[in-house]
Structure 1
Amino acid sequence: MNSYYVAIFTSQRTKHVSKGYASMTDEMVELARLQPGFISVESARDHEGHGITVSYWESLEAIQKWKENTNHQVAQQKGKETWYSKFNVQICKVVREYSFKGSD
Structure 2
Amino acid sequence: MGKITMTPEPPYYAVIFSSERTEGDKGYEKMSEKMVELAAQQKGFLGLESARDPDLGITVSYWESLEAIKNWKEHTIHKLAQERGKSEWYQSYSLRVCKVERQSFFEI
Structure 1 length normalisation: TM-score? Answer: 0.93
Match of 2:35 among 28, 36, 52: 28
CA contact (8 A) 1:10 1:53 kept: yes
**Structure 2 equivalent of residue 53 of structure 1:** 59
CA contact (8 A) 1:18 1:82 kept: no
Cα distance in structure 2, aligned partners of 1:95 and 1:33: 22
SS at match of 2:29: helix
SS at match of 2:50: strand
CA contact (8 A) 2:26 2:89 kept: no
**Structure 2 equivalent of residue 14 of structure 1:** 22
SS at match of 1:55: strand
- How far is 1:47 from its partner? 2.0
CA contact (8 A) 1:11 1:52 kept: yes
Cα distance in structure 2, aligned partners of 1:86 and 1:35: 26
How many residues align structurally?
A: 100
Structure 2 length normalisation: TM-score? Answer: 0.89
CA contact (8 A) 1:38 1:58 kept: yes
CA contact (8 A) 2:46 2:61 kept: yes
SS at match of 2:35: helix
SS at match of 1:90: strand
Runs of 4+ in 1 over 3 A off after TM superposition: none
For structure 1, the residue ranges without an aligned partner over 5 or more in a row are: none
Q: Share of identical aligned residues, percent? A: 53
SS at match of 1:98: coil
SS at match of 1:74: helix
| Deviations 1:81-101 (CA, angstroms, capped at 9, x unpaired) | 010000000000000001211
